[in-house]
Amino acid sequence: MKKISLLQLKPGKKAKVVEIIGGKVLENRLMGMGIYFGRDISKLGHFVLRGPVAIKVGRTTIALGHDMAKRIMVEE
Amino acid sequence: MINKIFLLGNPNVGKSVVFSRLTGVRAMSSNYPGTTVEITKGFLVIGQNKVEVIDLPGTYSLEPTSKAEEVAVSILFDTPKDQMVIINILDSTNLERNLYLTLQLIEEGYPVVVCLNMCDETVHRGITLDSDKLESILGVPVISTCAVTGVGVKKLIQRIEEAKVNIRPKTNYQERWKEIGLIIEQAQRLTHRHHTFREILEDLSIKPFTGVLMGLGVVYASFKIVRFVGEYLINNVCDPVFNNIYQPMIERMSVILGQESFLHHILVGDLINGKIDFKQSMGLLTTAPYIEFAMVLPYVFSFYIILSILEDVGYLPRLAILLDNILHKLGLHGYAIIPVLLGFGCNIPGILSTRILESKRERFIASTLISIGVPCVALQAMIFALLGKYSGFYVAGVYLVLFVVWIVLGAILNFVLKGYSPELLIEIPPYRFPPVYVLFQKIYFRIKGFVVEAVPIVLFGVLLVNIMLYFKIFDFVSGIFSPLISGLFGLPKETIIALLIGFVRKDVAAGMLMPLGLTVKQMFIAATLLAVSFPCIATFVILLKELGLKDLIKATFLMLITGLVVGVVLNFGILR
């Protein structure tokens, strides 16, 4: 299984969160919202021109900025 | 003894609705994370005691990430644990994510009552919650409520005193999430069901292509409806009332007072061709009420209908996604659109709402851009009235200038200010359709707020203007500014008075342009200047409070420069 970023994940696909690059602060913030290691997420869409990425985590829909999505590594 | 009850929970779980139910104090609530940015207080009587209830901004955890969350968490830390109860409010449809904060609160030793709010929504989402089971697992009282309709609130009040501290071992987040998984397995059951139409719409609005289409549609329709409803009310309700009922009364008064008297000058103002002209007389009982009730209020009403619907349905965060990359160029991120939209109603709630942004830098950029480039609804209504009669083209022109100011100033600020713009990270709420009376209450609340706050200042503004006109103080002031105003902006020197009165209230200021007999070009420049120059004094007070003196001075400097540049460019750039 290959590790890819949320940006590279295709819309409509499911994946597991395996790594968050960007330090403890970001990690804490995402953890509070339910994006933690081992969590299954699915990608809903990705806006062009470095736009945000929308994902579904459990019952929550979350939008995250392009550069933040880049730092979330997932495995399909 | 308990003397404080805190309402704490994730953003957008309905804390403010529960608060209103408990205390009877109306707190603003909407369907997006971050409606509450300030602390609201009220009282609840439990048995013999009057206990203070405090509504806090939503937070995902006890580690704050924005100014609003910081406010919530710090006030919690400052209160002794044995004197408070936390009502931890959860979204029943999203138990898993909400439990994270709950576990954290229990681990930290806070006395907690858990309130499973929005329990009415679980049914059609195929969720069954076992609140007794949850109560036995968590070891604190758990009550299901639906605060919008009031279900369960009584029971919640009865059980507040049962709140208890349940000592749990402290864990890290990985363990906490694991535990939540186990709790969920026991307390929540899901039944499979098909996607509803609403969910399909929810998904479409955050997919790139359909999302943009919907966004354009919503913005266009909103603007059209606001204008249509506003114009309709003016032409069919307000104008007839003023012209047919109010005018004869004032005319009689005018005769009794006698045209030359001081009182006539103050109350009725000048007669135009021997008659009272509501738009030009400038009296305390003529132009002042006309501006507020027949020119501005209809638009306040129509604007807040649309804004309230968009807020409560939950569309606004979706707009944030669409605008994220544009706002990034200005040093902000998509969620800054929420303060901006609120600012289009009134700059004050807009600037307060910048607390949902993460960094000080963002809050400075957003507050400055709002106070310079976002005209409040009162001023917009006046711009429609002043320029709309020539052509919609001029009205659009003002917005175009504001848009350019936004982009240029935002890009400059982003380039000059140290630091970087944080990334967007927001929860997108599901669409909700609140009962109509909830919507009406909200609109009523806002309109009442407008009338109570605006009318006294408007009356004061017009009074001030009239007294100064009577004693010819303006001649002196306009003489001083004459070279600047006519030389640089191409406006008659009297316009400076209107621009200065803009400091008191923008709608009165715009009203003062009406009797000046300006050309279209002059009117366009003057109206645009009112929009881009400094905001009214009430906004300044909030800016001072939110930004501090040093940043306020910086912002004021930017306001003056922007006004100057825009005035000069328009004067020499527009040929006709």
B441 CA: distance to closest CA in chain A (Å): 29
A41-61 average pLDDT score: 90
If we measure between CA atoms, which residue out of B576, B564, B512, B501 comes closest to residue B382? B512
pLDDT digits (tens, 9 = 90+) for B239-256: 999 999 999 999 999 999
Tell me the C-alpha distance between B378 and B373, whole Å: 14
B413 CA: distance to closest CA in chain A (Å): 20
What phi and psi, each to the nearest 5 degrees, are found at residue B100? -55, -50
Nearest to A44 among B63, B206, B333 (CB): B206
Cβ <8 Å between A68 and B65: no
B333 touches chain A (CB under 8 A): yes
- To the nearest 10 degrees (0 to 180), the angle between helices B506-513 and B377-388 is 10
B428 touches chain A (CB under 8 A): yes
Interface test with B, best of A20, A37, A59 (most B CBs within 10 A): A59
Nearest to A31 among B173, B322, B427 (CB): B173
B324 touches chain A (CB under 8 A): yes
Task: Please name the residues in contact with A55: beta carbons below 8 A apart, sequence gap of 6 or more.
Answer: A6, A41, A42, A43, A44, A61, A62, A63, A64
**Total CB pairs under 8 A between chain A and B:** 112
Residue A7: band (very low, low, confident or very high) from pLDDT cuts 50, 70, 90: very high
b/e burial code for range B471-501 (CB count within 10 A of at least 16 → b): eeebeeebeeeeeebbeebbbbbbbbbbbbb
Residue-wise DSSP of A25-72: HHHHHHHHTT--TT-EEEEEEE-TTT--EEEEETTEEEEE-HHHHHTE
B365, with CB counted inside 10 A (0-12, 13-18, 19+), is buried
B90-97 average pLDDT score: 92
Q: Taking 60 as the threshold, does the pLDDT of residue B215 lie above it?
A: yes
Cβ-based contacts of B93 with chain A (< 8 Å): 59
Written as six digits, the tokens of A38 are 């081992």
Cβ <8 Å between A62 and B207: no
- Beta strand residue intervals within B25-75, DSSP E: 40-46, 49-55
B113 CA: distance to closest CA in chain A (Å): 20
Given a contact cutoff of 8 angstroms between Cβ atoms, the answer to whether B342 and B377 are in contact is no
Cβ-based contacts of B425 with chain A (< 8 Å): 29-30, 33, 62-65, 68
Q: Find tokens 């990334």 and name the residue.
A: B423
Q: State residue B358's pLDDT score.
A: 87
Nearest to A62 among B96, B207, B428 (CB): B428
Cβ-based contacts of A30 with chain B (< 8 Å): 425
pLDDT digits (tens, 9 = 90+) for A50-59: 889 999 998 8
pLDDT digits (tens, 9 = 90+) for B97-142: 999 999 999 999 999 999 999 988 888 888 899 999 999 999 999 9
Interface test with B, best of A19, A20, A47 (most B CBs within 10 A): A47
The strand pairing partners of A3, in sequence order, are A75
Tell me the C-alpha distance between B109 and B508, whole Å: 55
Cβ <8 Å between B424 and A46: no
pLDDT digits (tens, 9 = 90+) for B31-87: 888 888 888 999 999 888 899 999 999 999 998 888 888 888 898 998 898 889 999
Q: What is the ipTM of this complex?
A: 0.94
Cβ <8 Å between A58 and B427: no
Cβ-based contacts of A36 with chain B (< 8 Å): 173-174, 177
Cβ <8 Å between B97 and A33: yes
Cβ <8 Å between A54 and B423: no
> 3-class SS at B348?
helix
Nearest to A44 among B60, B65, B207 (CB): B207
Q: Taking 90 as the threshold, does the pLDDT of residue B482 lie above it?
A: no
Q: What is the mean pLDDT of chain B?
A: 91
Residue A38 region, left (φ>0) first, then alpha (ψ -120 to 50), else beta? left
Q: Taking 80 as the threshold, does the pLDDT of residue B192 lie above it?
A: no
B303-326 average pLDDT score: 94
Helix (H) or strand (E) holding B368: helix B360-373
The strand pairing partners of B115, in sequence order, are B89, B143
Tell me the C-alpha distance between B219 and B210, whole Å: 14
Q: State residue B275's pLDDT score.
A: 87
